[in-house]
Amino acid sequence: MYAIVDIAGQQFKVEKDSKIYVHRLASEEGAAVEFDKVMLIDNEGEVKVGAPVVEGAKVTAKVLSHVKGDKVIVFKKKRRKGYKKKNGHRQQFSQIQIEDILVG
């Protein structure tokens, strides 16, 4: 059984006990979270597609940790003008573990 769920504006394919990284959630580590924007559910060949979401379906998960992604270097330069700009960025992520997919 798997589901396509919308988490913080991005769509993820999730299965029970899978671990995924999503954009930083406002929940504490160890807290349980629910996602009710379930777009699709596949239960052993029986597919339910929402328009836009499946009614009564939700996915429960647990926040495992908050981490930072790899550093991304942004370097801008204009040749012969003496202009150079170097910037770095590290994205904040939350690692969650899917505990259950409930069909309503």
Identify the domain containing residue 31 by its residue range: 2-102
Q: How many domains does the chain have?
A: 1
Distances (CA, A) of 20 to 25, 52, 98: 13, 23, 8
In this prediction, residue 104 carries a pLDDT of 76
Give the per-residue pLDDT at 60. 97
Helices H / strands E in the chain, number of each:
0, 8
**Structure tokens, 45:** 């060949």
Whole-number pLDDT of residue 94: 97
- From first to last of the 104 residues of the chain, give the pLDDT tens digit: 999 999 999 999 999 999 999 999 999 999 999 999 999 999 988 999 999 999 999 999 999 999 999 999 999 999 999 999 999 999 999 999 999 999 97
pTM above 0.85, yes or no: no
